[in-house]
Amino acid sequence: MATKIVQIDLTQPIAPVDGLDGFAHVWILVRYGGRPLGWVQFARTLAGERVMPEQIRSLVVQRLGPAVWEALVNGPPVKPAHRPPMSVIVCTRDHPDQLQRQLASLAKLDHPQWEVVVVDNAPTTDRTRQVCDQFPFVRYVLERRPGLDYARNTGWRSARHDIVAYTDDDAVVEPGWLTALGGPFEDPRVWCTTGVTFPLELATDAQECFELYGGFCRGFRRKVYRPGPWSRGVPLGSGQFGSGVNMALRKGFLERVGGFDDALDTGSLARGGGDLDIFARTLRHGGTLVYEPQAVVWHEHRRTMRQLKRQMFDYGYGFYAYLTKYDGDPQLARYAADLKRFWVRFWGWQRLRRNFKLMLKGKPYFPLNLILREMVGMLFGPRAYARSVEAVRQRAQQQGATEAA
């Protein structure tokens, strides 16, 4: 059975939560003045047919007491004073219905100056263009080469503003998303920002499983990552910093480093790692990265177990392909090798054992076959990056020959 997702703001009266028929669990996102403080999660059996305000208040105090007290002491969050002009890039391929929902959410942004660039990546129909035509503020750009990083690079090169923000077609943004994501760029040392991403729905087993895996949320506290010496593969283990569905970068930085790596991420032979790579390169090249949880995006996770199985295989495959990129780097090769070993031991076998114990105890657990799929993907990933680089090289040669002719 599905999970009902509810939001409350402690600066406003709390209303009862009803309409629980068909739901097995309730997740309440608790905010204070718009700022997310954390989740209160419980089984529907704890509440019956209706969750009353006094029950909600009691659960919030029990589970989020320190965070609530801190919010009360500090007061409601203040909107960032620095609100730079920003370009929003949405890369899409044959998802017109999801894109329309995302563009409708972007139309509600409260940022003072922004544009939206939709990059249509190797489309098979003209439906994406038709959706874009419905939104006057959208600029449509075609990128015929298949691959998410090709589309990302086309996006920032087409952008009119110096700060470019990325989000996906299968997500929706909150009105204050762009302002929160852009605020840290007041500091010239900040080259990249990321935000928090929550599940848009938990209507299927696959979507609930992905949240058990960890989802996209990286916590409710602002974090600042500065360049410096690293060990155990950091910043290569850069999934801790956020994800590509909710990030912003300086266009000047992208120009200096040549943009995203075309040999990585969805649509390439490497299948993933493009966002992880740009986060790592931000720190490696001397920039600061800020994780800002007031920049909120809601993401529609894969709805079917078949889609999730493919995603988990690609996660392992893409992550190891991404790490293999650094095998020949004299500064990071040792870190990459250490991280590969660490990931097998911790993310693989330890995770497998932990979830097996949870299964035996009858507690919620991440399916063992999905962990194994990710581990199998890791076995095939190391060879993928070199093949992907060669494919990118050949495509560039073909394009050059075509243009010359």
Question: For the chain, which residues make up each domain, given as ranges?
Answer: 2-74, 86-305, 313-394
Closest CA to 32 of 69, 62, 80: 69
% of the chain with per-residue pLDDT over 70 = 97
Q: pLDDT class for 230, splitting at 50, 70, 90?
A: low
Find out whether 103 and 90 touch, Cβ atoms under 8 Å. yes
Residue 155 has pLDDT above 60, yes or no: yes
Find out whether 140 and 106 touch, Cβ atoms under 8 Å. no
Task: Summarize pLDDT for 87-111 with one digit per residue, the tens.
Answer: 999 999 999 999 999 999 999 999 9
Task: Summarize pLDDT for 235-265 with one digit per residue, the tens.
Answer: 677 688 999 999 999 999 999 999 999 999 9
- The per-residue pLDDT for 84 is 98
Q: pLDDT class for 220, splitting at 50, 70, 90?
A: very high
Least confident of 164-168, 344-348, 395-399: 344-348
Least confident of 60-74, 127-141, 150-164, 230-244: 230-244
| CATH of segment(s) 86-305 | 3.90.550.10
Closest CA to 254 of 397, 155, 391: 155
Count CB neighbours of 152 within 10 A: 28
Closest CA to 384 of 319, 334, 338: 319
Q: What is the mean pLDDT of residues 161-173?
A: 98
- The per-residue pLDDT for 234 is 59
* Mean pLDDT (the chain, rounded): 93
Q: pLDDT class for 344, splitting at 50, 70, 90?
A: confident
Residue 338 has pLDDT above 90, yes or no: no
| Cα distance between residue 269 and residue 272, in whole Å | 9
- The per-residue pLDDT for 239 is 82
Residue 7 has pLDDT above 60, yes or no: yes
Residue 233 has pLDDT above 90, yes or no: no
Residue 337 has pLDDT above 90, yes or no: no
Closest CA to 31 of 73, 79, 64: 64
Find out whether 257 and 270 touch, Cβ atoms under 8 Å. no
- Tell me how many degrees the CA angle 37-39-45 measures, rounded to the nearest 5: 150
